[in-house]
Amino acid sequence: MQDVPMKRYTSMKVGGPVKYLIYPLDESDLIAALTHLKQEGIRYRFFGNGTNVIVDDRGINEAVIRITRMVHTRHRATENGAYVDVAGGVSLRTFILHESEKGLSGLEKLYWIPGTIGGAIKMNAGSFGSTISDTLEAIRIINGQGIVKTVPKNELLFGYRTSSVHTSECVVSARFYLTARDKKAIQKDMAYVYGERKKRHPMEFPSSGSIFKQVHGTPAWKFIEQAGLKGYQIGGAQVSQKHANFIINRGYATAQDIKRLIDTIKKEVFEKLGVTLHEEVELWGFDG
């Protein structure tokens, strides 16, 4: 697809067009696309569910590759659980739900994080004290040269919302080790996680989740609240009243409204509290 507006694909519901939006159907298709882009000198990025990305209103003159049509899951049972191979484009939420139905446990605290497996690994997504890397064994990547590699967890340098997955590398699949547990107990934990998220997060509005990272273990919302910014609005972008580290789109926000609000929060928090906030979300295309 050409000149596709990213507002249709990001959870914040803003963003201008990308040059190409490519959906490979399998690994050889992906390698062919990467080879073609390289030959044509077209820059590219990988994209999952767009839940941690804010794209500028002007869009980006690049290709975006989305592997959400490459979906598979394979199980190899062991005495106490199973090794599970899952495609990078699979929705994390759906994966956790399906594994719970099989009585396989280990990812339930991440339930309802709205990304894909690939996006979650790149960001080392986490919640309720758990991260995606906890039960991960290895990933399969395809790099910009079209080379396929298996990378074990200890080489992925996972940190707080970071990994060593490079922007030119696609996480095509991941292997988790999940342990056997009573299905009802797993689903009870998932229901708890969902309930807490619903209580704390402004799920009724488009957003990108937490905008800023914690600062030395202190959640960013505390600083934003202390700076008196809860509810502060620029255009259609507003600091959520429910969770001050969420910026919500009131329905008419532009990417520029959101960027201006992010810059204002950083400035005010620094001036009032001497604290420097760093974005957890990725901003695409704002630098020109």
Q: Which is nearer to ligand FAD, 52 or 105 (CB)?
A: 52
Q: Name the catalytic one among 27, 99, 108, 280.
A: 280
Who's near 109: CB < 8 A, 6+ residues apart? 127, 128, 129, 130, 189, 193
- Of the residues 100, 173, 210, 240, only one is catalytic, namely 210
To 5 degrees, how large is the angle CA 134–CA 136–CA 137? 130
Are 60 and 15 a contacting pair, CB within 8 Å?
no
Question: How buried is residue 208: exposed, middle or buried, by Cβ count under 10 Å (0-12/13-18/19+)?
Answer: buried
Out of 37, 82, 156, 171, point to the residue binding ligand FAD (CB under 6 A): 171
One residue of 7, 11, 90, 275 binding ligand FAD per CB under 6 A: 11
**Helix/strand/coil for 117:** helix
Q: For residue 201, state whether it binds ligand FAD (rule: CB under 6 A).
A: yes
Sign of CA dihedral 257, 259, 260, 266: positive
- Interacting residue with ligand FAD among 13, 45, 181, 183 (CB under 6 A): 45
Contact pick of 209, 229, 247, 257 for ligand FAD (by CB under 6 A): 209
Please say if 280 is a catalytic residue.
yes
Residue 148, amino acid: V
Q: How far is the CB of 92 from ligand FAD (least distance, A)?
A: 7
**Among residues 96, 165, 220, 244, which is the contact residue for ligand FAD, using CB under 6 A?**
165
Give yes or no for residue 88 binding ligand FAD (CB under 6 A): yes
- Cα–Cα dist 107/101, whole Å: 13
Cα distances from 209 to residues 50, 54, 112, 173, in angstroms, run 11, 11, 11, 24
Q: Is 47 in the site for ligand FAD (CB under 6 A)?
A: yes
Q: Pick from 81, 103, 126, 285: which binds ligand FAD (CB under 6 A)? A: 126
Active-site position among 58, 161, 197, 260? 161
Q: Are 158 and 124 in contact (CB under 8 A)?
A: yes
Spell out a b/e string for 95-132, using b for 16 or more CB atoms within 10 Å of the CB, else e: bbbebbebbbbbbbbbbbbbbbbbbbbbbbbbbeebbb
Q: Establish if 49 lies at the interface with ligand FAD (CB under 6 A).
A: yes
Measured distance CA(221)–CA(211) in Å, rounded: 9
Euclidean distance between CA atoms 203 and 281, whole angstroms: 17
Binding footprint of ligand FAD, residue count (CB under 6 A): 32
Residue numbers 96-125 binding ligand FAD by CB under 6 A: 113-116, 118-120, 122-123, 125
In the complex, least distance from residue 119 CB atom to ligand FAD, rounded to whole angstroms: 2
Find the binder of ligand FAD among 33, 52, 111, 240 (CB under 6 A): 52
- In the complex, which residues of this chain contact ligand FAD (CB under 6 A)? 11, 45-53, 67, 88, 113-116, 118-120, 122-123, 125-127, 165, 170-171, 201, 207-209, 282
Which positions are annotated as active-site residues? Answer: 161, 210, 280
